[in-house]
A = this chain, B = another copy of it.
Amino acid sequence: MMATSHSRLPEEVSSYLADHQSRSVERLLDLTRIASVSADPESGPAMERCSRKLAEQMQALGLSDVRIVSTSGHPVVEGRTPPRPGLPTYMAYAHYDVQPPDPLEGWETPPFEPTRVGDELRGRGISDDKAHVEMHLAAVEAYLATLGATPVNIRFVFEGEEEISSRHFPEWLDQTDWLDELAGCIVSDGTFLGRRQPSLSTGVRGLLYVELNIRTADVDLHSGGYGGAVPNAAQALTTILSALKGEDGRIRIPGFYDDVVDEPIFRSTLASAPWSETEWLDGAHLAAATPVGEEGYSVLERLWLRPSLDINGLWSGYTGDGPKTVIPATAGAKLSCRLVADQDPDRIFDGVERFVLKQAPPWAQVRITKISGSRPARIDPETSLARAARRALASTFGVEPALSREGGSVPVVGMLSSRLKAPLILLSFSPPDDNAHAPNERMPLWNLAGGIGTVANLWWLLGETGREAE
């Protein structure tokens, strides 16, 4: 039977998927109930609970060799389809950790009491990235329940530190001895190009995340006794931060753009990309409904081909109710840059540090610390794996997938690319307006079901060579 099916997903598998969607939703809600906020230093127990819950879900589906692998940080959860000799083996990656839920007051439903609202699911991490974990689990369930086996061998790797730049993932890579045996790697994280426009990513931006700390005195001072004659840490901070970008949207750090690769061919395709600026703008909920940014570039160019710099957080002095006339002694900011090939996070950090220290007034002690960094990466869309993914997307969604790029950073893409001999793809299903790092994170059921179908289709297509040889 298998030899005759070619690229068409067997009817029993697709029927099973259609009939068992509620099981997927249940499993996904169960996982999302656990506040696996990897950035929170208090989250150890929740991370452990989440990794155990995930391992239980995997075992219940009949996966083999399910293990919770310790690292110096949060664990990696591993497992594999019951191994079938002679079939190629692919790795599937997703992550079970989530962003912090702040600001809490923005949520319409509690972030860790996930719930279905109309045709979508809501909760912190439900889109980024727990739905992508579930897509693989659902495909496993369907294949094992109907055909008793998956068309290829899959090794699942679910990480617990993606949201903190995969800090300890290199430890897992170092202790894993089967990477060379892989036929390819599917990284499941990220978004569609449009709400209804499937896409395959051709690259990710890198990241440099820093914290800036300023001290002008040992104590906050009373502005009555000191106002007008002493330094103010908040003022030093605003002076430094306001110097980082020009009114033209250009980042003013010397050398910042030196290593940005020009991509004239890809750039020329962007104007006709099936991407709706209107839809993207709708998702941003801007106060003035107009994009801003570096002069001379379109919105898509700014997001995919150009690096960016943003203040992510600010704090200083008194922020409670009512007036308090202090002159703040300390002030701080979190800042980050999205990087594009071939910018190197360490070189960019050196430039930011030099610039910040140069802008700092002589009366302020300024410290800048690198919190995390990851390299940008480009992904070849013409490998056999990428071509199979494009066919799976097309047959599931009934529309040709676009070639996109992730404005975000997926550090494992760079880490895995440099270790693997086989091709890697970044296969993502969230809508662009999923509020991934904001309140009211959401995953439409349409995207979840399409993701499950695509994964099942992709495995089937990848097994085709083996079946044709039978």
Contacts and interface: CB of A to CB of B under 8 A. Distances in A.
A239 interface: yes
A234 interface: yes
A157 interface: no
Contacts of A238: 237-238, 241-242, 311, 314
A315 B438 CA distance: 17
A232 B311 contact: yes
B99 A303 contact: no
Contact of A39 (B292, B321, B332): B321
Interface in A237-295: 237-239, 241-243, 245, 284-288, 290-294
Contacts of A321: 39-41
B229 A324 contact: no
A222 B438 contact: yes
A317 interface: yes
Nearest to A209: B323
A275 B382 CA distance: 78
A230 B371 contact: no
Number of copies: 2
Interface residues of A, number: 103
Contact of A313 (B307, B310, B316): B316
A200 to B, nearest CB: 17
Nearest to A190: B224
Given A287-B364, A318-B100, A224 B409 contact: yes
A312 interface: yes
Contacts of A216: 286-288
Query: In this complex, which of A230, A363, A372 has the most chain B Cβ atoms within 10 angstroms of its Cβ?
Result: A230
Contacts of A228: 293-294, 302-303, 306-308, 338, 407
A217 B286 contact: yes
A445 to B, nearest CB: 21
B217 A285 contact: yes
B223 A291 contact: no
Contacts of A336: 223, 227, 323, 325
Contacts of A322: 38-41, 100, 164, 371
Contacts of A286: 216-217, 230-231, 363
Interface in A401-422: 406-409
A39 B324 CA distance: 8
Given A230-B292, A238-B237, A215 B409 contact: no
Nearest to A232: B310
Interface of A: 38-41, 99-100, 102-103, 106, 164-165, 191, 205, 207, 209, 215-232, 234-235, 237-239, 241-243, 245, 284-288, 290-294, 299, 302-303, 306-329, 331-334, 336, 338, 361-365, 371-372, 406-409, 432, 435-440
Q: State the 4 A-B residue pairs at the shortest beta-carbon distance, nearest first.
A: A224-B408, A228-B308, A39-B322, A218-B285
8 contacts: A102-B324, A221-B437, A223-B308, A225-B303, A229-B292, A314-B316, A318-B334, A323-B372
